[in-house]
Structure 1
Amino acid sequence: MSEAPAEPEDVPGASAAAPDVVLGLVAAPGAAAEVAGDLAADLALALRERHPDVVWDVRVVEDGLVQPPADDAEIVAAARARLLAEEWDLAVGVTDLPLSVDRRTVVAHASPVHGVAVLSLPALGAVGRRRRALRTSLGLVHALLGEDEGDGNPEALRRRVRELASDPADTADGVRFTARVLSGNLRLLVGMVRANRPWRLTIQLSRALTAAIAAGVFALVTADIWRLADRFGWLRLAVVGLGSVVAICVTLVVGAQLWERARSRRVRKQVALFNLATVATVVIGVLTLYAALFTLALAGALLLVPSGLFTEGLGHRATLGDYLELAWLTSSLATVGGALGAGLESDEAVRGAAYTHRPDQAA
């Protein structure tokens, strides 16, 4: 294992007290390690020119990370483990393995929530590889910071860099520490979650979605469910809905082991941000599912449950409010079914759905 940090003292005007962002380049042995070694100095210089507010410390480590064949998700997981062990802020894995999505060659993937990106060396081609590697790596770092390419807001990006570099005051109180991380890094957290596209979470979990739809259809055509929805009242319906959302969120986070524990004080802030972003991603994704199920349940109730039959089942005249109550309870029960389906998903499937990797093409 070799490690070559780019010296912070090379930055003109940088003070010893300036906050620093440590970026690790984890390169596979051979050609990938050679490219990473050549890339480190240029990347550090380019980052310092773009973000002079902090000291950029780019370190190169030679590590294959995974045994081939392996996909990008495995490389990201291995690079994340190395990032936490080395106490870096961000990491880019340079691999000599070809990456593809739906049979299309992919140059690189970025996972902002993990703070890890992967650059595929074979996809860069044989001509101008160093230039392409530099430009793609810069794009990956911006993606890891939660910056979409079309945003065009350099001040917001500089703010996120400063937030990443700053450490909250030490405290033994975990709740207070997490609150400080949340309040001091809110924009960074929002960028991480947005780049993760949480609204696509449940669409990629086929078993959870199938179970939710099946439970919803069963509830919609069951007369006992009609009467329960009518007798529950809005408060109890709200409690049932909240419980169903919590159930599927806990199933996804705990079942797939998405929650991380800090191994040292140095990475506490990063792990706290990761966990906050994970919870936000899952909650937003589940709420999106719940809203979609409610819309489908309401449409299904209006189309499939005749008002005469509904009135007979309830024992009184059916109104729009009764249809809304039925849709509410149906969507809650469907979400519980989704939680059961989520329990059948593999850990890899849940992680892949929760942490959408965004491809970043080389110039």
Structure 2
Amino acid sequence: MASAAPPDVVLGLVAAPGAPAEVAADLAADVTGALHERYPDVVWDVRVVEDGLVQPPADDAEIVAAARERLLAEEWDLAVVVTDLPLTVDRRTVVAHASPVHGVAVLSLPALGAVGRRRRALQTSVGLVHALLGEDETGDGDPEALRRRVRELATDPVESTEGVRFTARVLSGNLRLLVGMVRANRPWRLTIQLSRALTAAIAAGVFALVTADIWRLADRFGWLRLTVVGLGSVVAICVTLVVGAQLWERARSRRVRKQVALFNLATVATVVIGVLTLYAALFVLALGGALLLVPGALFAEGLGHPDGLGDYLELAWLTSSLATVGGALGAGLESDEAVREAAYTHRPERGP
């Protein structure tokens, strides 16, 4: 019985007209060979497309968004954009950015310089594909783990007409790939970059901490109700970020269902981990603030009974929940671009 054919991974090499298109055309065969040598278990299908994607001036986030649209329309698995636009991070020129969650990377041709440009473009393009697959910045990732991720990316799950069942199959069959995508996205940095959400959360926390009615509510609520309030606050800010900034994608065809499902799972996981990190930080701050700023005698008087550590923990718990709700209100004031930039961390490669 004949062995099954190896699965395909389709890589779109999108190049702007002019020099980028010429470089991409020259690179296609070499990129295919390099990827096949590194990941022999799959067949690499590298497709070169000439498309400027955006009108200058444009930043990397706009290029990634436009490339993502093209990726879904063409039903690719990954995309690398070769552009003649300069890329900067904090006013520093960088060679390339990679967004593993989107499956899109951007290579800035001007940052490669004039000498050895073709060789450097090949090395950077292959490195960007590795980054999209979850290889760490040092290049010391486990080769076998990376091969598994490529196979997971290339292998379609059993088809199902039920959305929940299909998503469950994608999750169970691509768990390593998903974890790599989320890890590369650095979700713990999410809320730090959303200034309005963070400011609103801190303001709500301070207000709750010095309000005697909140002290009594925390004391009367009990652990079950405090848990429900905490979960509700986390869900509120997560929904605000995902829905408000339109981070959820819809599959346009059956071929890209897995690609979109992975993106949505990674997006939700990124937001949830980021919000839980915020919640944990707010809890620690609220507990420290309660112990330092709320005098024991005054606290006991407000509660109507002697205070203890458990009372301070309950106060910190309710305070962090209310602060998170305040963060949800602040997140609603953030621009869609700010939320997307915070939710999707692009991995920069510095230029010379």
Partner residue of 1:283 out of 272, 297, 300: 272
Gaps in structure 2 of 5+ consecutive residues: none
Q: Deviation of residue 171 (structure 1)?
A: 1.0
Q: Deviation of residue 16 (structure 1)?
A: 8.1
SS of structure 2 residue aligned to 1:107? strand
- Separation in 1 of the partners of 2:127 and 2:272? 28
- Separation in 2 of the partners of 1:164 and 1:362? 30
Q: Does structure 1 conserve the Cα–Cα contact (< 8 Å) formed by 2:93 and 2:351?
A: no
Q: Does structure 2 conserve the Cα–Cα contact (< 8 Å) formed by 1:136 and 1:362?
A: no
Q: Does structure 1 conserve the Cα–Cα contact (< 8 Å) formed by 2:93 and 2:350?
A: no
Are 1:33 and 2:50 matched, yes or no? no
Are 1:20 and 2:8 matched, yes or no? yes
- Separation in 2 of the partners of 1:137 and 1:77? 19
- Separation in 1 of the partners of 2:157 and 2:280? 36
Q: Deviation of residue 362 (structure 1)?
A: 6.5
TM-score by length of structure 2 reads: 0.98
Encode CA deviations 1:231-256: one digit per residue, 9 max, x unaligned.
00000000000000000000000000
1:100-119 correspondence runs (5 A): 100-119=88-107
Alpha-carbon spacing, 1:27–1:15, altered in 2? closer, same or farther (3 Å): farther
Matched with 2:43 is 55
- Separation in 1 of the partners of 2:3 and 2:313? 62
- Separation in 2 of the partners of 1:322 and 1:168? 50
* Segment drifting more, 291-300 vs 172-181: 172-181
Matched with 1:154 is 143
Q: Does structure 2 conserve the Cα–Cα contact (< 8 Å) formed by 1:201 and 1:353?
A: yes
Matched with 2:54 is 66
Q: Does structure 2 conserve the Cα–Cα contact (< 8 Å) formed by 1:140 and 1:360?
A: no
Q: Does structure 1 conserve the Cα–Cα contact (< 8 Å) formed by 2:286 and 2:320?
A: yes
Q: Deviation of residue 141 (structure 1)?
A: 0.2
Q: Does structure 2 conserve the Cα–Cα contact (< 8 Å) formed by 1:136 and 1:361?
A: no
Are 1:83 and 2:71 matched, yes or no? yes
Encode CA deviations 1:239-284: one digit per residue, 9 max, x unaligned.
0000000000000000000000000000000100000000000000
Matched with 1:341 is 330
Q: Deviation of residue 17 (structure 1)?
A: 2.4
SS of structure 2 residue aligned to 1:359? strand
- Separation in 2 of the partners of 1:16 and 1:95? 38
Q: Does structure 2 conserve the Cα–Cα contact (< 8 Å) formed by 1:99 and 1:106?
A: yes
Encode CA deviations 1:309-353: one digit per residue, 9 max, x unaligned.
000100000100000000000000000000000000000000000
Q: Does structure 2 conserve the Cα–Cα contact (< 8 Å) formed by 1:145 and 1:161?
A: yes
RMSD: 1.3
- Separation in 2 of the partners of 1:305 and 1:68? 55
Q: Does structure 2 conserve the Cα–Cα contact (< 8 Å) formed by 1:282 and 1:354?
A: yes
Q: Deviation of residue 15 (structure 1)?
A: 8.2
Q: Deviation of residue 151 (structure 1)?
A: 3.8
Matched with 1:126 is 114
Q: Does structure 1 conserve the Cα–Cα contact (< 8 Å) formed by 2:94 and 2:351?
A: no
Q: Deviation of residue 170 (structure 1)?
A: 1.1
Alpha-carbon spacing, 1:358–1:63, altered in 2? closer, same or farther (3 Å): same
Alpha-carbon spacing, 1:362–1:103, altered in 2? closer, same or farther (3 Å): closer
- Separation in 2 of the partners of 1:53 and 1:114? 23
Q: Deviation of residue 360 (structure 1)?
A: 2.5
TM-score by length of structure 1 reads: 0.95
Encode CA deviations 1:167-220: one digit per residue, 9 max, x unaligned.
011110111111110000000000000000000000000000000000000000
Q: Deviation of residue 361 (structure 1)?
A: 4.2
Encode CA deviations 1:282-324: one digit per residue, 9 max, x unaligned.
0000000000000000000000000000001000001000000
Matched with 1:7 is none
Q: Number of aligned pairs?
A: 350
Encode CA deviations 1:122-169: one digit per residue, 9 max, x unaligned.
000000000000111111001101111344310000000000000011
- Separation in 2 of the partners of 1:16 and 1:320? 63
SS of structure 1 residue aligned to 2:350? coil
Gaps in structure 1 of 5+ consecutive residues: 1-13
Are 1:252 and 2:241 matched, yes or no? yes
Alpha-carbon spacing, 1:119–1:16, altered in 2? closer, same or farther (3 Å): farther
Q: Does structure 1 conserve the Cα–Cα contact (< 8 Å) formed by 2:197 and 2:328?
A: yes
Q: Does structure 2 conserve the Cα–Cα contact (< 8 Å) formed by 1:252 and 1:343?
A: yes
- Separation in 2 of the partners of 1:344 and 1:216? 18
Q: Does structure 2 conserve the Cα–Cα contact (< 8 Å) formed by 1:75 and 1:118?
A: yes
- Separation in 1 of the partners of 2:24 and 2:350? 18
SS of structure 2 residue aligned to 1:56? strand
Q: Does structure 2 conserve the Cα–Cα contact (< 8 Å) formed by 1:23 and 1:58?
A: yes
- Separation in 2 of the partners of 1:103 and 1:196? 21
